[in-house]
Structures are given as C-alpha cells and as structure tokens.
C-alpha cells in the first residue's frame, strides 16, 4: 500500500474529491482531508529537527519521565 500526499488549493478541493469518489471502490482505501495553515506547517517543518536536537539530550532526559502520561 502507498500513500499519496496532495496539496490542493481550497477552490479546487471539490473537483479532486469528486474524482477520487468516482474511482472504483477498491482503488482508494482511505481518503482524508486535512486542513492545515501553510505558515504553521512550514514552521513545524523548520523547527522540528532543531527542537529535537535541543530536547533529546542527556541533560534534559531527567525531565522526560515527567512528560509521560
């Protein structure tokens, strides 16, 4: 199974969803529309790795046990 990620303008979403819905039932296993703000998504992509390097270190590992629920 493969996943295809599409970024579609809001004005074109109905067209693409209509195409997907008209495919044979066994073609698409799951279809999900995810709304995301582009600025927020870009920020998350840029900040994820630096934050991971800062947080995942020996010094801060003492506090990690308090984050687990």
Predicted local confidence at residue 15, as pLDDT = 92
Question: pTM of the prediction?
Answer: 0.46
Q: Which two tokens stand for residue 32?
A: 């999900």
Predicted local confidence at residue 57, as pLDDT = 67
pLDDT digits (tens, 9 = 90+) for 8-60: 888 898 999 999 888 888 888 888 887 777 777 777 777 777 776 666 667 77
Predicted local confidence at residue 66, as pLDDT = 75
Predicted local confidence at residue 18, as pLDDT = 92
C-alpha Rg value of the chain to the nearest Å: 19
13 Cβ neighbours under 8 A, 6+ residues apart: 33
17 Cβ neighbours under 8 A, 6+ residues apart: 31, 33
């Amino acid at each position: 199974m493969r996943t295809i990620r599409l970024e579609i303008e809001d004005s074109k979403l109905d067209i693409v969803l209509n195409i997907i819905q008209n495919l044979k039932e066994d073609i698409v296993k799951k279809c999900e529309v995810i709304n995301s703000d582009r600025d927020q998504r870009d920020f998350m992509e840029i900040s994820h790795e630096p934050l991971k390097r800062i947080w995942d270190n020996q010094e801060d590992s003492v506090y990690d046990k308090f984050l687990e629920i």
